[in-house]
Structure 1
């Protein structure tokens, strides 16, 4: 009588059984979520109104009455002393004794001390 429980490849017919791998990395692998590579750190844009440095510098110019040169967006240069400042404008007392000038900060290219 034929033996139906045995096949020519092993004792049980059916799908192959898993064989142990002997190539290292043994043990169960933990579920470790793969992370996307971190983007390089870029500095956040600085809002100069929030730092307070502009206000501190202008206050120092007012207190010390330091002569400054203001270069406007048009290229014109004005000399004088900073008398007053706020968020949008500041007042320049010209060195030649003329009336105070109120200058919008948006119209100024830069200023420097003399």
Structure 2
């Protein structure tokens, strides 16, 4: 029985050295995507973001019932649980995630003549 076929010797190591550099070259030659998944302006003003964060944090802490009007006119009622740069989590009749880019405006329930 030939032990070289069972246990790789120096030849097996050389084969591995040849394989991995070519494999790495193929991996590094892949180009990065030419688009970005962002729903916000890259040059968005810091003061605008800070004002938005302050307002949302205040509504979360006080558990204020809110009305959120979407771009298509749909109205959603509920309390904001948390937020990040692109999404609000609202708890109403059901829990839902709402993209900020789809929100036309929002106000406190009981305001705006209701």
Q: Provide the TM-score with structure 2 as the length reference.
A: 0.54
Query: Over aligned residue pairs, what C-alpha RMSD do you find?
Result: 1.4
Q: More helix by proportion, 1 or 2?
A: 2
Following superposition, which runs of at least 4 residues in structure 1 exceed 2 angstroms of deviation?
Answer: none
Q: Paired residue for 1:103, among 84, 98, 106? A: 98
Tell me, in whole angstroms, the C-alpha distance in 2 between the residues paired with 1:79 and 1:99. Answer: 10
Tell me, in whole angstroms, the C-alpha distance in 1 between the residues paired with 2:84 and 2:66. Answer: 17
Aligned residues: 65
- Structure 2, unmatched stretches of 5+, are 1-42, 110-114
Kindly state the Cα deviation for residue 99 of structure 1 after the two structures are TM-superposed. 2.7
Kindly state the Cα deviation for residue 79 of structure 1 after the two structures are TM-superposed. 0.4
- Aligned partner of 1:113 in structure 2 is 108
Tell me, in whole angstroms, the C-alpha distance in 1 between the residues paired with 2:57 and 2:65. Answer: 13
- Aligned partner of 1:75 in structure 2 is 73
Tell me, in whole angstroms, the C-alpha distance in 2 between the residues paired with 1:105 and 1:47. Answer: 14
Larger Rg over CA atoms: 1
1:69-113 per-residue CA deviation (whole Å, 9 max, x = no partner) reads 00000000000000010110011101xxx3310000000000000
1:15-37 per-residue CA deviation (whole Å, 9 max, x = no partner) reads xxxxxxxxxxxxxxxxxxxxxxx
Q: Provide the TM-score with structure 1 as the length reference.
A: 0.54
